[in-house]
Amino acid sequence: MLLTSDTGALDDSDCEPIYSPASIQPHGILLVLESPVLKILQVSNNTFEAIGIYPKELVGNFLHEFVETEEIEAIEKALFEKDGQYNRITLSFKSQEGNYFFQGTLHKSSSVLIVELEQVVAQPASNCFNSYHLVQEPIDKIHNTPNLQALCQTAVEEVRRMIGFDRAIVYQFDATGDGEVVAEDKVENLAPLLGMHYPATDIPPQARNQLSMNLIRFIPDIHYQPVELIPDCNPLTGRPLDLDFSLLRTVSPCHVQYLKNMNVGASMTVTLIKDQKVWGLIVCHHPIPKYINYETRTACELVAKFVNLELSYKQDSQDREYAIYLKEICHNFITEISQ
């Protein structure tokens, strides 16, 4: 059985929620802010380890007390221009030991803003996509593939090269929801999965719906200990926080058990979308825990977006008009992400 989602085909999987409402994975920190004043309402219980500030010192205070003014202004600008949709941000927290630099995302969830951050070693050079240099060659290779099969094979080879996992596959859904492994790249000692078929019940409807919410789902250590949120409920609503769009959200115990049964230590899943529907997945597994930095994962997401463009236009029959049109799309896409 191939496990690709946050839940699996256990007898009780339909009764198990995908999202634990009040915990995240420990490779990042999460802050919940009241909009538009940016008052801190909730935080993950690992802020002291990450930034040297205890949760109780953060909750109830305002974000501008802990980060630089220009970073607050960047957040406010993003909220104004994009109405609080999915935004990439950088923050540096001030402490007695110095500044801690983070990259991450900001998105709206009901009446609050959710900030998810991962630490970087040094201050990012700019707010532009520093991952541009990582994606130019993979995008060129993907663009030059002659057909759908070559597209899928090149995609798994390039993604696996970028992240260094032992296996990467393309898992394609058919009209009934059943799946087939149509491309694979792996280390030699692993048994092949290419050509394997799996029933639609492997990925229940609730998990299938989740696939379209985020292009990338990353689990660097399947043996992690969940980090709870403080307080455990949103003070404005008195209800658990909605983590539907969270990148750090904790993993279903059902999914964790499946990965353990497969001797997987780290996992990354990339959603492939064609005609606004989930077409398939790039599923990457590694036998031991392995952290992929934020920049590299951003590059993988950009590659996935271009693969999705190619899925919409790649046909077995290639004519001159099609080739010219797709080349123009490729050029525009690379120009966009380099700005």
pLDDT above 90 as % of the chain? 49
Please tell me the least confidently modeled range out of 75-79, 95-99, 183-187.
Answer: 95-99
In the DSSP assignment, the letter for residue 94 is E
Contacts (Cβ under 8 Å, ≥6 apart) of 106: 75, 78, 84, 86, 87, 88, 89, 113, 114, 115, 116
Tell me which H or E stretch contains 242.
none
- Alpha-carbon distance of 206 to 337, in angstroms, equals 32
Reference 307, options 104, 153, 85, 86; nearest CA is 153
The answer on pLDDT for 165 being more than 60 is yes
Strand 216-219 to strand 266-274: parallel, antiparallel, or no bridges (unpaired)? Answer: antiparallel
CB atoms within 10 A of CB 103: 21
Residue 337 has pLDDT above 80, yes or no: no
State the pLDDT at residue 202. Answer: 80
pLDDT at 208 over 60: yes
**Amino acid of residue 264:** V
Q: Under a CB-based contact definition with an 8 Å cutoff, are residues 13 and 6 in contact?
A: no
Yes or no: domain 23-120 corresponds to CATH 1.10.3080.10? no
Query: CB 336: neighbour CB atoms within 10 A?
Result: 11
Domain boundaries, the chain: 13-17+129-224+252-338, 23-120
Calculate mean pLDDT across residues 266-276.
93
H helix and E strand count, the chain: 9, 13
Spell out the CATH class of 13-17+129-224+252-338: alpha beta
pLDDT of residue 10: 40
14 vs 145, residue with greater confidence:
145
User: What's the pLDDT at 94?
Assistant: 79
Peptide bond into 17 cis (omega under 30): no
Q: Is the pLDDT of residue 316 over 50?
A: no
Domains 13-17+129-224+252-338 and 23-120 share a fold: yes
Average pLDDT (88-113) is: 86
The SS3 assignment for 77 reads helix
- Of residues 270 and 255, more confidence is placed in 270
> What's the sign of the alpha-carbon dihedral 271, 307, 132, 158?
positive
Token duo for residue 7: 């839940």
- The number of beta carbons lying within 10 Å of the beta carbon of residue 82 is 13
Tokens of 212: 């379209």
